[in-house]
Amino acid sequence: MKRTVSILVALVLVLSVGVGMVAQTAPKIGVCIYKFDDTFMSYVRNTIETAAKGKAILSVQDSMYDQPRQNDQVDQFLVEGMKSLAINMVDPSAVSVLIGKAAKKKVPLVLFNREPAAADMAKYAMAYYVGAKAQESGTMEGEIVADYWKKNPSADLNKDGVLQYVMLIGDPSNTDAKYRTEFSIKAVTAAGIKVQKLAEDTAMWDRPKAQEKMAAWLTAYAGKIEVVFANNDDMALGAIEALKAAGYFKDGKYMPVVGVDATPPALDALEQGYLLGTVLNDAKRQGLATFELAYSLALGKPASTTVAPLANADGKPDPKGKYVWVPYVKVTKDNYKAFK
């Protein structure tokens, strides 16, 4: 009996030491999300946290849409000795400040989802980016609308041969907002369709703000709006709420609305016939690629051993070895079930 107890005690001690070794050797990684209550970013964050279990010690911070707060969070990460940083910028145009902080401490920096300027990325050899090309998402939005317009002559409400639209924009300083706005309309005109912009304004990626903007436009442009473009699904869903309140989506009264992200609520709206289409911004693949890159760099591995495989896996190899591009996918009533 004494021998059995001794063996059990020894096993407990060995296991305890093993656990301690894992805790001591797991790299510490600092993560900032521009704001936790962004629907899409909540999925990216959850993926990063799940991928890190048993491999790394994460400190995940909510920057609350406040760039000075995010700067302070990065300062604290560096004081705490984080081995790498994964930052979803509040303001991508302010990234040079964070790059300077990381470079001074020689800490690898993985920026994700909100693309900074290439000139800023070039300032630091250990600065990397994980995301998707916003031009693609805008183009796909426009293609969804162009396809609908050509197949449904009744969409031209005033029969003038011109598509009259309104545009809900995200943060105007954000690259994604700029390119989704620009390239969605370019895709429509490239399809040979004439367009007229009735209104364009920012709703800052926010559903309630978009609902408010759309309600005002429905009053200002009563009976004239033929299509609603939104830079993301949350704003598209806000517009849909305003349209529902105005009597749309029943008794044959319909308004095509398109968004970007293919979030679960958006897919539900697509299934129910409220949303015309969206574009998959792959939160899971972005989250996994962000963590794997930050983790590899935190372990001191050369980026070339991680960036290239990740980029190749996504079909978008980057010759400079600083970018991982996750491709977008067009989502409509024809294929939405594959993404639910």
Q: For the whole model, what pTM was predicted?
A: 0.82
- Strand 127-131 to strand 329-331: parallel, antiparallel, or no bridges (unpaired)? unpaired
Angle between helical axes of 233-245 and 207-220 (0-180°, round to 10): 50
* Measured distance CA(71)–CA(84) in Å, rounded: 15
What per-residue confidence (pLDDT) applies to 174? Answer: 87
| pLDDT computed for residue 199 by the predictor | 98
What CATH number labels 2-132+283-326?
3.40.50.2300
Q: What is the DSSP letter of 61?
A: E
Instruction: Choose among 161, 159, 169, 236: nearest CA to 200.
Output: 169
Every domain of the chain and the residues it spans = 2-132+283-326, 135-280
Domains 2-132+283-326 and 135-280 share a fold: yes
Fold of 135-280: Rossmann fold (3.40.50)
Cα 259-265-268 angle, rounded to 5 deg: 95
The rounded distance, in Å, linking the Cα atoms of 33 and 185 is: 30
Q: Which of 152, 242, 235 is nearest to 201 (CA)?
A: 235
> Coil, helix or strand for 129?
strand
Cβ atoms of 265 and 241 closer than 8 Å? no
Q: 16 is written with which tokens?
A: 């305890």
Q: What is the pLDDT of residue 318?
A: 67
Among all chains, which residue has been given the structure tokens 């639209």? 165
3-class SS of residue 167: strand
Distance from the first to the final alpha carbon of the chain: 57
Q: Are 19 and 71 in contact (CB under 8 A)?
A: no
* DSSP labels, 256-270: -EE-SB--HHHHHHH
Helix (H, G, I), strand (E, B) or coil at 56: coil
Long-range CB pairs of 273-277 (<8 Å, 24+ gap) are 273/249, 274/240, 274/244, 274/249, 275/233, 275/236, 275/237, 275/240, 276/144, 276/145, 276/148, 276/332, 277/141, 277/144, 277/145, 277/148, 277/330, 277/331, 277/332, 277/333
Residues of the chain falling short of pLDDT 70 = 1-24, 312-320
